[in-house]
Amino acid sequence: MALSRRGFIKTLGGGGVVLAASGIGLTQCDRMPASAVEGWRGPGTDRTDPREWALAHALLAPNPHNLQPWIADLRTPGAVTLLVDPDKVLPETDPNGRQVLIGHGAFLELFDIAARELGYRSEITLFPKDAAPVDAPTAMLPDYPVARIAMVRDPNIERSPLFPHIFTRRSCKEPYDTERPLTAAHEAALRKTHTDQAIALSVARTGDLTARLRTLTRDAMMLEMQTPRTLKESIDVTRIGASEIERHRDGIDLHGPFFWWLKAAGLMTPEKAMTPGTMAHQGGIDYALGWAGATPSFGWIATAGNSRAAQISAGRAYVRLNLQATANGVAMHPVSQLLQEYPEMAALQRGFYEATGTPEGRTVQMLFRLGYAEVPPPSPRRPLDAILRT
C-alpha cells in the first residue's frame, strides 16, 4: 500500500515529524519493485507446460494477508497436486485454516478459468486422501492435500468471460466514495455471475444494515489490533519498503515516501507497531478505521454448514464475484476480521450473524466491501517457481 502525497503531508504534519527530501523526488522514492509484481503481466513464453501456464494465473488469487499459502506439486505427469504451504498460514487469526482453504478455492477457480482458455478441462478431485477435520488446527492442513487436478484436452470446453479480468482484479483496501453505494445494475451483474445455488449471496447496498456493518467491521478491526497475539501475527508478515517487499514478495506491503522516511528515522519498526501511543501503532489504527468508515455497501456469502469442501466452494464463488466486480468497475475488498474464529471475536461475530439474519446452521464464509474507488496497484506475488515442486 502506497500512501498518497496528501496523506503523507498530513501525517507528517500531524505527527510533528520534519524530514527533508534531500533531493529525492517524493514521487520516485520507495516505489513498488517491478520484480514483485511481474506475475501480473502473465506467464512468460518459456511456460510451455499447460499446468504451469494455468498456475501462473492461479497464483494471482486473493488469499489471507497475501501470504499465498499454496504449493503445486507437478511430479505426476499431466496433473497438479495442490497442498497448503506450512510457512504461509495464520494460526492466531485463522486457527482452523478456514480462510486458508477459501484462498485455495480461489486458486482452483482461477486455475480452471485459465485452463479453459487453453482448451483444457480441469478434473478436480478435492481432498484425494482425506479432508482435515473442520476443527483441526491450521498446522495440520499441510498433511492433507487440498486437491488433485488432471488437465484433459477438450476442444469443446467453454471459455469463461471472466478470464480477461484475472490480471486487473484487485482487492481495493482504500476508502470508497461514500456518496456512491453499489448500483442496482451492478448488484444484478454480481448475482448473474453467482451461479452456485448452494451458496447464499447477500448484498446490503444502503440503509441501517450497512451502517451497522460499518460499526461491526470497525470494532472487529480494533479488537484484532488490541489483541497482542493477533496484532503481532499481522506485523510479522508486514513488509515495509521496497527492499523488504522485493525480498519476500508476499504479505502486507507498505511502501512509498512516508513509510521510507519513517523506517529511516527508526519510527516504523515491529516493536513500535506493537506499542500503543507510537506513530506506527496509531497509523495502523487510523488506516484501518479509514477504510472501515468509508464503505457504502457490503456483500457476503454463506454456506450450509462449514465443511472443508464448502470452504473451497466459497473461495471459488468469491473470486468469480471479484472478477465480475472488476469487469464492472466495482471496488471490492474482503473484510476477514469479523469472521475470524479466535475466542475474543466471538461476541462481535454473534452480533454480525444477528444483524444479517443469518439462520442457524449457515456459515458466513466471506464478508466484503463494495463500492467505487480508484483502482489500486497490484499486490506483490512470489514467482511461480517458488510454489512449484518438480
pLDDT given at position 260? 78
pLDDT given at position 9? 36
pLDDT given at position 26? 52
Burial 82-115 (b: 16+ CB within 10 A, else e): bbbbeebbbebbbbbbbbbbbbbbbbbbbbbbbb
Say which amino acid occupies 137.
P
- The pLDDT tens digits of the residues spanning 303-346 come to 999 999 999 999 999 999 999 999 999 999 999 999 999 999 99
Tell me whether residue 178 is in a domain: no
Distance CA 220, CA 282 (A): 16
pLDDT given at position 11? 43
Distance CA 78, CA 233 (A): 37
Tell me whether residue 157 is in a domain: yes
| Helix runs in 59-199, H state only | 98-118, 184-193
pLDDT given at position 3? 46
pLDDT given at position 27? 54
Tell me whether residue 120 is in a domain: yes
User: Mind listing the pLDDT tens digit of every residue in the chain (390 residues)?
Assistant: 544 433 433 444 444 444 443 444 455 677 899 999 999 999 988 899 999 999 999 999 999 999 999 999 999 999 999 999 999 999 999 999 999 999 999 999 999 999 999 999 999 999 999 999 999 999 999 999 999 999 999 999 999 999 999 999 999 999 999 999 999 999 999 999 999 999 999 999 999 999 999 999 999 999 999 999 999 999 999 999 999 999 999 999 988 887 878 888 888 888 998 999 898 888 888 888 888 899 999 999 999 999 999 999 999 999 999 999 999 999 999 999 999 999 999 999 999 999 999 999 999 999 999 999 999 999 999 999 999 999
Tell me whether residue 116 is in a domain: yes
- Looking up residue 80, the CATH number of its domain turns out to be 3.40.109.10
pLDDT given at position 364? 98
Tell me whether residue 107 is in a domain: yes
Containing structural domain, residue 108 = 36-165
Tell me whether residue 113 is in a domain: yes
Distance CA 182, CA 191 (A): 13
pLDDT given at position 73? 98
- How many domains does the chain divide into? 1
pLDDT given at position 279? 86
Number of helices (H), then strands (E), belonging to the chain: the values are: 12, 11
388 near 75, Cβ under 8 Å? no
pLDDT given at position 23? 40
Tell me whether residue 72 is in a domain: yes
Instruction: Give the contacts of 236 (CB within 8 A, at least 6 positions apart).
Output: 270
117 near 160, Cβ under 8 Å? yes
Neighbours of 3 (CB within 10 A): 18
pLDDT given at position 89? 97
pLDDT given at position 373? 98
